[in-house]
Structure 1
Amino acid sequence: MKEPSMATFLIAFLLAAAVFAHGKEVVKDTNGNPVKPGAKYFIQAVETESNMGGGLIPNAIKYPTCPFGIIQTRFPYQPGTPVNFEYPFIDRDSFETSSDIHIRFRPEMWVFCTEFSKLWAVDVSSSAAKEPVIIIGGELRRPDSVFKVEKATRAHTYKLTTSYGTVGTVPAAFFDV
């Protein structure tokens, strides 16, 4: 019996890799450039009839105020607080949809809730029935601090998901006690 050649192995490996990577694409910013780990970006809600589209910011959502929750600014012209995206487990120079990522606020100045990290996390203790709150204070490589960027309907438009569901589908109340 003839043994399989290295070329056969490589073809099988490449086909398996193509099946595994199917559907993934490089995440791009609004200018069409690949999103780079460590670079600063603004996350803004898509403008709709009921949403004017402001940026995302850390803000008090309960009492006591820390850790801050992540909410959308009420003003569409405010870009929000800059963030960067990081891979929790691997090192690459761009991001693909459906990959595990961390999101971290990268403001010029940070004076409140300094005892908490700026890493985003799902508040698994949240009593929200449909969608848990996203807060600061996440920890590297913890499942509640891992997000995915998924393709949305428009070009260079994405939605954030977690293992707990899609982020931002339910409006958050200000100071939900």
Structure 2
Amino acid sequence: MKISFLITLLLATVACTHGQEPVKDTAGNFLETGQQYFIQPIKTGSNNGGGLVPAAIRLIPLCPLGINQAAFTFLPGLPVSFEFSDSVTEPTIMTSTDVTIEFKSSLPPPVCKEFSFIWAVESSSDSSEPAIILGGTPGSQNSRFKIEKAGEGAGENTYKLTSLDGTVGNVTGIFLAPQLVLTNDNAKTTFVKFNKYNEAITSASRVEKSALRMFPF
């Protein structure tokens, strides 16, 4: 156990010298692959701070689903897991490292069952702010995201998600809830914290049912 800790500490020290550092959850612990976390948007004057859930972002075609924020702050959304997009054996997730993000649920989705729960940037969109959708593939370019420090004044252990062509932000979706998109408008950036799943709530089925039924599909 001590050897494993020392190796983790050594790798973290080396990474920090290259501008990287371990990503931390709200308890100050390092984010790790194979664990589940709630991605919790920061509540602001224009953002209600609700958790993230799969949701329809258009009516025709309905699939693939996008990602919206819950209507209420007390709903944490669905948990996610992170995996490295490339071959990395160390479980600690560092800033500026490519990761795949996937919603985790023991309940089958009510629609669009042929699509994975892996996040992706919508590559077929002509929009300057393409939606973040479900149906991604591990390792594919549009399913690679990075976790970056939010910057000065954002608060402790606060981050933003980025991809190759921009930062994950939000716009008003078709159900008037914040919808995740890729943007280059800093004013739309969604700042987030990470709550470890088993520390944030004890009833998994209640979380999943409330999240999956929150929006009309």
> What is the TM-score when the length of structure 2 is the normalising length?
0.68
Aligned to 1:116: 115
**Structure 1 residue runs without a partner (length 5+):** 1-16
Aligned to 2:21: 25
In 2, Cα distance between equivalents of 1:21 and 1:69: 37
Residue deviations 1:42-77, cap 9 Å, x none? 111111111120111111111221111011112111
Q: What is the count of residue pairs matched by the alignment? A: 158
Aligned to 2:148: 150
- Work out which of the residue numbers 43, 50, 53 in structure 2 matches 1:54: 50
CA RMSD in angstroms, aligned pairs only: 2.0
1:105 equivalent in alignment to 2:103: yes
Q: Which has the larger radius of gyration?
A: 1
Aligned to 1:40: 36
* CA gap 1:59/1:122 in 2 versus in 1, 3 angstroms: same
In 2, Cα distance between equivalents of 1:147 and 1:72: 19
* CA gap 1:91/1:19 in 2 versus in 1, 3 angstroms: closer
Contact 1:71–1:172 under 8 Å retained in 2: no
Displacement over 4 Å in runs of 4+: 17-21
Cα distance, 1:119 vs structure 2:
0.7
In 1, Cα distance between equivalents of 2:28 and 2:16: 25
In 2, Cα distance between equivalents of 1:54 and 1:20: 32
Aligned to 1:10: none
**Structure 2 residue runs without a partner (length 5+):** 1-12, 180-217
Cα distance, 1:108 vs structure 2:
2.5
Structure with bigger helix share is 2
In 1, Cα distance between equivalents of 2:34 and 2:15: 29
| Counterpart AA for 1:91 | T
Higher relative CO (Cα under 8 Å, sequence separation at least 6) belongs to 2
Aligned to 1:173: 173
Residue deviations 1:130-171, cap 9 Å, x none? x21000000111110000000013211110000120001x31
In 1, Cα distance between equivalents of 2:18 and 2:133: 32
Aligned to 1:133: 131
In 1, Cα distance between equivalents of 2:108 and 2:119: 15
Cα distance, 1:20 vs structure 2:
8.4
Structure with bigger strand share is 2
| Counterpart AA for 2:105 | P
| Counterpart AA for 1:85 | F
Aligned to 1:159: 160
